[in-house]
Structure 1
Amino acid sequence: MPGDIDHAKRALRADLRERRNLLSDQQRAAAETALTARLDQLIAATGARSISCFLSTTTEPGTRAFIRAALTRGIRVLLPITREDGLLDWAVAGSDEEITMGLHGLPEPTGEILNPMALDEVDLLLIPAAAVDRTGMRMGWGRGYFDRTLGSMQKCPPVYAVVFDSEILDDVPHDVHDQPVTGAVTPLRTVVFPLT
């Protein structure tokens, strides 16, 4: 039942948010360093030259060092910009990126805005998540931006959720609109989920 699923998601999100808040600055820094290496390996393995990523908040697995390194190697990185209508616009990351707080208080790039179709040109999607399960079902934070984005793409490249190691769970509550991912990248491992 939808009400039960929503309640289960809210409870799990609250637990995951609390766990993230308990991480020390040293744990976060070590996780970002390890995650950067994992993401670099994924880029090398896939041969991706154009990717999407996201500007991590202070409690998310850190992506900013990875983005800087990717730009240095000539990788084109698109970053999401939230819209009032529930869709995502995109901006090309720059090395001297200015950051503003977008809708919902999330960090977003400034600069030229590209429409949602810009995502059709990327080779790999790296997206945030609260958790993923062992089948590849992703649970986000409840706003639906990435579920709508993935659900609307006609030709979707590989999609990897970026999470902490403890956020790959046996299963997550999900509804019909929730979208699965190809894999997950954590500070300690990269997981590819079986096709269902």
Structure 2
Amino acid sequence: MVDDKIEEAKAALRIKAHAARAALPQADRADAARAVTHHFFEGIALHAGDVVAAYWRIRDELDCQPILVRLMDRNQIVVLPVVLGPDEPLDLRVWEQGASLYEAGFGTLAPSELAPKAEPDIVIMPLLGFDRLGTRLGYGGGYYDRTLASMKKKPKLIGLAFAAQELDAIPREAHDVPLDAVVTEAGIRHFGNSA
């Protein structure tokens, strides 16, 4: 059951977080993406066989592409999400070296529908906001919530954001799975027992 007061609070926080992200100077964004990439590879434990789910940036999200390139260069298995429908979990398709990417809805790119699928060990997630407890504020569509609920294993959840997207507190509902870590241009913050 949806708590209307929590949904109203989240809607207001989405407006605030999106405004903070949109206000960041364009000139600082590439530097932030490089810093986040450095912090990610310094602070997140990756093993050779790990499957890493990432994303293709839309709108003014932090650019994940430098991380994607490095993961592919390391021969890490990378999957990208595809939206199948408004009430469906994301389809996580393997992006193989040299394979083309195609329009996958919402302005994002992903491998073709013929690409193999894989369940990730690590999920790199875009977000609108995060708080000191690791609560992630998404866009409100529930795609990641449904996807995580449908998985057989619990992956490590890593949020990528600009430091300006941190909020004082985000209400957390039962279906809201907290992040294990968040990486910003200012560094990495681990929550709980994440390594």
Q: Which bracket does the TM-score occupy, shorter chain normalised?
A: 0.7 to 0.9
SS in 2 for 1:16: helix
Larger relative contact order (Cα-Cα within 8 Å, sequence gap ≥ 6): 2
Does 1:185 pair with 2:186? Answer: no
Choose from 143, 146, 151 the match for 1:145: 143
* Distance apart, 1:46 and its partner CA: 3.6
What pairs with 1:1-196 in structure 2 (closer than 5 Å)? 2-43=3-44, 45-47=45-47, 49-84=50-85, 85-96=87-98, 98-103=100-105, 105-111=106-112, 112-115=114-117, 118-119=118-119, 122-194=120-192
Contact 1:139 1:172 in 2 (8 A): yes
Letter in 2 for 1:31: A
For residues 159 and 137 of structure 1, the distance between their equivalents in structure 2, rounded to whole angstroms, comes to: 11
Letter in 2 for 1:187: E
Q: How many pairs were matched up?
A: 189
Query: Any unmatched runs of 5+ in structure 1?
Result: none
For residues 62 and 46 of structure 2, the distance between their equivalents in structure 1, rounded to whole angstroms, comes to: 21
Contact 2:17 2:167 in 1 (8 A): no
For residues 8 and 103 of structure 2, the distance between their equivalents in structure 1, rounded to whole angstroms, comes to: 28
* Distance apart, 1:47 and its partner CA: 2.7
Structure 2 length-normalised TM: 0.86
Q: Which has the higher helix share?
A: 1
* Distance apart, 1:100 and its partner CA: 3.7
Contact 1:125 1:157 in 2 (8 A): yes
* Distance apart, 1:190 and its partner CA: 1.0
Aligned sequence identity (%): 29
Contact 2:102 2:109 in 1 (8 A): yes
* Distance apart, 1:183 and its partner CA: 1.3
Structural RMSD (CA): 2.1
Contact 1:52 1:125 in 2 (8 A): yes
4+ long deviations beyond 6 Å: none
User: Structure 1 residues 95 and 23 mapped into 2: Cα distance closer, same or farther (>3 Å)?
Assistant: farther
Query: Any unmatched runs of 5+ in structure 2?
Result: none
Moved more, 89-98 or 57-66: 89-98
Contact 2:37 2:67 in 1 (8 A): yes
